[in-house]
């Protein structure tokens, strides 16, 4: 369940008392520019599954409402989670739910502004916000560590196309994997490559370009960028398929390529 609200007050307190909150949120109650609407439990399950959430993750829920998403992640997968919630009463309500669920060691609810809080440590971000708020957050999300998963209930991110879509009954959610920045020209070095030059064009996770091998430009085939993972193929003049798979590590490409006569590693440096 998510709350479509945010504000400027900040509190890092997370009381450990399991006292029941006397506050009861109301469906459709107004917040700042938005209203509170619950995310179906069945969709929450699918959101966490499509993001491949695990005990190694740090999940931040932007507009946490009653805290159900980080609570569910903690109970199902042992995930550490932080919920950011504008409404102080709702935040207190969420804290009581965290205590009742017995996950105070894994879930923290803070009262704060999602546009001011630092959630750069997240490996997974969940949200249920209006499209204009998604677009305001988009630059921050795109600047996060490549491979960070972002899951939004109901609303998209403009022309940043989702990597996957999941549904539960009439509800829908979208997944994005934050892509590494790979546009530009790279020199690839490895056995059989010499100084091959890879030119990449990038629109979010969509990749195109050419590989110049032995003085001939070959268009990339099936190019795919998922987080830090870049894959593509070329078809040579001899109709041989060569497959490349690499990872962006500290601004360099490290990978392997396979051809009919050779399997080798390579490294790429951006020019």
Chunk the chain into consecutive blocks of 10 residues (it has 271) and report each block's average pLDDT, rounded to whole numbers: 37 42 74 74 98 98 95 98 95 96 98 96 97 97 98 98 98 98 97 94 98 96 97 95 97 95 94 92
What CATH number does the domain containing 258 carry? 2.40.128.20
| Total domains in the fold of the chain | 2
pTM: predicted TM-score of the whole model, two decimal places = 0.89
Residues 140 and 221 both lie in one domain: no
State residue 194's pLDDT score.
Answer: 87
Query: Domain ends where: 177, 194, 222?
Result: 177
State residue 17's pLDDT score.
Answer: 43
**Residues β-bridged to residue 30:** 35
Residues 131 and 195 both lie in one domain: no
pLDDT digits (tens, 9 = 90+) for 109-118: 999 999 999 9
If we measure between CA atoms, which residue out of 242, 195, 189 comes closest to residue 214? 195
Query: Domain ends where: 177, 204, 221?
Result: 177
CB-based contacts of 203: which residues, under 8 Å, 6+ apart? none
Query: Domain ends where: 148, 177, 206?
Result: 177
Its domain, for residue 235, covers 184-270
State residue 1's pLDDT score.
Answer: 42
pLDDT digits (tens, 9 = 90+) for 60-97: 999 999 999 999 999 999 999 999 999 999 999 999 99
Question: For the purposes of burial, counting CB atoms within 10 Å of the CB of 222, is it exposed (0-12), middle (13-18) or buried (19 or more)?
Answer: exposed
Across 194-218, b (16+ Cβ under 10 Å) vs e yields: eebbbbbebebbebebbbbbeeeeb
Residues 143 and 214 both lie in one domain: no
For residues 148 and 226, give the distance between their C-alpha atoms in angstroms, rounded to a whole number.
10
Residues 83 and 119 both lie in one domain: yes
């Amino acid at each position: 369940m998510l709350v479509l609200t945010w504000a400027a007050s900040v509190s890092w307190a997370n009381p450990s008392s399991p006292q029941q909150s006397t506050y009861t949120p109301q469906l459709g109650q107004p917040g700042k520019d938005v209203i509170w609407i619950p995310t179906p439990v069945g969709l929450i399950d699918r959101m966490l599954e499509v993001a491949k959430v695990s005990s190694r993750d740090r999940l931040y829920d932007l507009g946490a409402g009653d805290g159900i998403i980080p609570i569910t992640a903690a109970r199902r997968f042992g995930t550490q989670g932080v919920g950011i919630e504008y409404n102080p009463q709702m935040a207190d309500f969420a804290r009581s739910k965290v205590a009742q669920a017995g996950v105070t060691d894994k879930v923290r609810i803070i009262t704060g502004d999602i546009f001011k809080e630092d959630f750069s440590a997240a490996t997974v971000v969940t949200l249920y916000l209006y499209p204009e708020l998604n677009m305001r957050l988009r630059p921050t999300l795109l600047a996060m560590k490549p491979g960070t998963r972002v899951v939004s209930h109901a609303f998209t991110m403009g022309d940043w196309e989702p990597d996957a879509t999941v549904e539960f009954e009439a509800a829908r959610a979208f997944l994005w994997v934050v892509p590494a920045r790979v546009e530009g020209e790279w020199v690839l070095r490895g056995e059989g490559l010499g100084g091959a030059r890879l030119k990449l064009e990038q629109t979010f996770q969509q990749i195109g370009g050419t590989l110049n091998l032995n003085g001939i430009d070959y268009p990339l085939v099936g190019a795919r960028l998922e987080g830090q993972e870049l894959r593509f193929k070329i078809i040579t003049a001899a109709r041989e398929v060569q497959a490349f798979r690499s990872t962006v590590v500290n601004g360099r490409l490290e990978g392997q390529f396979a051809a009919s006569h050779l399997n080798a590693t390579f490294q790429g440096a951006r020019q």
